[in-house]
Amino acid sequence: MHPVDLRSDTVTRPTPEMRRAMAEAAVGDDVWGDDPTVIELEREVAALLGKEAALYVPSGHMGNQVAIRSQTHPGDEILVHELAHVVVHEQGACAVLSGVQTRMISGERGMPEPEVLEGWLRDPADVHHARQTLVCLENTVGEQGGLVYPQQRIDAVAAFAHEQGMRVHMDGARLWNAAVASGAEPARIVRDVDSVSVCFSKGLGAPVGSAVVGSAELIETARRNRKLFGGGMRQAGVIAAGALHALRHHIDRLADDHRAARALAEGLAGCRRVRFDPERVETNIVFAAVPDGEDASGLVREMAEAGVLCADLNPRTIRFVTHLDAGDEAVSAAVERLRPLLR
């Protein structure tokens, strides 16, 4: 029995067309700035997001940290939601790589509002306080099940931060999902943020890579910091070609992943051992609640034995993610295999 892999949208494999594009890619030395495929990718993603420039980086983690390093100084403080990826999943990199402290704040659905941020403002003239220089947002919000950050709130947070002299970075690892789900143009979503990182190796299905996007001045600084972090690549056009193909051909199809995620939640709604709420599914991530008396890690092992791979985020939450390699047929198979186990 071939397993249905719903652990993450990072498990996707290049399509035959993508492999062909990678095999035929023109290459140069990206550290020297002369890889033509990387240059084409950077120009295209910058234009798509309405920004001046972009920088290809090996991972979303590096993209976030390069953006933070490029807009702060050691000893600064950044404001970020307590569930943000840069806090939960990046090993304290903000402190290690940039020397900044994180002021972790709350906010409904993983989305801080200006009123919450205002409560954490420091007096910039007080020498006892760290300088607050950056606000970090995330869209979609991974730790809340792929929820889409409302445009009105993004605009309000950005306006507030700029009024206080702070910049705004958006972790847009799944920005493409947010755009498809909301019907908004990607450039409109990030219009008022100073930097954004976007991922090619999640929903878009490329094997490697992300980009940091912003002003030309910011990206010039980011390029130095990418090298500092060990992210300088040579004939990177081979992998950039996969990202470029994904950018051109795989954005609109994300709607299929969203539909499949909703079908999964609806197909397993009413199960006793794991509880699904289809109304909370906004994109391609499904969170299921584990009731008292059950253990998430044990359930994940049982589901793997039944032929469905997923991930336990904590003892009370299990995550399923639909993607390019797990569409309607895979979801139907997952529901068929799991209902007898979870009912």
Per-residue confidence (pLDDT) for residue 106, from 0 to 100: 87
pLDDT tens-digit map of 161-193: 999 999 999 999 999 999 999 999 999 999 999
Q: Are residues 142 and 214 in the same domain?
A: yes
Domain extent for 321: 253-342
Per-residue confidence (pLDDT) for residue 267, from 0 to 100: 97
Per-residue confidence (pLDDT) for residue 292, from 0 to 100: 92
- Percent of the chain surpassing pLDDT 90: 95
Q: Are residues 118 and 191 in the same domain?
A: yes
Q: Is residue 131 part of a domain?
A: yes
Per-residue confidence (pLDDT) for residue 75, from 0 to 100: 97
Q: 214, 229, 249 — which closes off a domain?
A: 249
Per-residue confidence (pLDDT) for residue 208, from 0 to 100: 97
Q: 222, 249, 276 — which closes off a domain?
A: 249
Per-residue confidence (pLDDT) for residue 223, from 0 to 100: 98
Q: Name residue 237's amino acid.
A: G
Per-residue confidence (pLDDT) for residue 224, from 0 to 100: 97
Per-residue confidence (pLDDT) for residue 110, from 0 to 100: 84
Q: Are residues 172 and 317 in the same domain?
A: no
Q: Are residues 291 and 222 in the same domain?
A: no
Let me know how long the chain is.
343
Distance CA 65, CA 56 (A): 13
Tell me how crowded residue 186 is: count the other CB atoms within 10 A of its CB: 21
Distance CA 112, CA 122 (A): 17
Q: Are residues 197 and 146 in the same domain?
A: yes
* Residue ranges of the chain whose pLDDT lies below 50: none
- CA angle centred on 287, ends 283 and 293, rounded to 5°: 170
Per-residue confidence (pLDDT) for residue 337, from 0 to 100: 97
Q: Are residues 136 and 157 in the same domain?
A: yes
